[in-house]
Amino acid sequence: GAVVSQHPSWVICKSGTSVKIECRSLDFQATTMFWYRQFPKQSLMLMATSNEGSKATYEQGVEKDKFLINHASLTLSTLTVTSAHPEDSSFYICSARVGGDTQYFGPGTRLTVL
């Protein structure tokens, strides 16, 4: 199957700082990428849909000024958590869509905000 990578795999930061997470499709071009958030023992919560070259579409309740998404190329999307606070600590996962519907997920990034 298609391979999606994320970097970093884990990050610890101080409250008030910003953190950038990269999502790359390694062996295919993805016109659409998705960002999810997952709390322990819960399902994936879609945060936003990212289309190459256009602004991301955020789900209801997700602050677009706090979670900045950039999809600059067909193989790279970034999520920046601005002014992070402890409640932003979570597992962030991206996915990339191949063809009409199949999504392949990255390995996730664990963010801990102290």
Partner 1 sequence: GENVEQHPSTLSVQEGDSAVIKCTYSDSASNYFPWYKQELGKGPQLIIDIRSNVGEKKDQRIAVTLNKTAKHFSLHITETQPEDSAVYFCAASIEDDKIIFGKGTRLHILP
Instruction: Record the tokens describing residue 48, joined without a space.
Output: 């936003």
102's CB contacts (< 8 A; 6+ apart) are none
Letters for 42-61 (x = contact with partner 1 by CB under 8 A, - = none) are xxx-x--x------------
Q: Which helix (H) or strand (E) is 107 found in, with range?
A: none
Cβ closer to partner 1: 57 or 82? 57
Q: Does 110 sit near partner 1 (CB under 8 A)? A: yes
Instruction: Record the tokens describing residue 57, joined without a space.
Output: 């579409």
63's CB contacts (< 8 A; 6+ apart) are none
Per CB under 8 A, the list member of 1, 53, 61, 86 interacting with partner 1 is 1
Q: Does 106 sit near partner 1 (CB under 8 A)? A: yes
- Residue carrying structure tokens 């950038």: 20
Cβ closer to partner 1: 87 or 101? 101
Residues in the site for partner 1, rule: CB under 8 A?
Answer: 1, 4, 6, 34, 42-44, 46, 49, 93, 100-108, 110
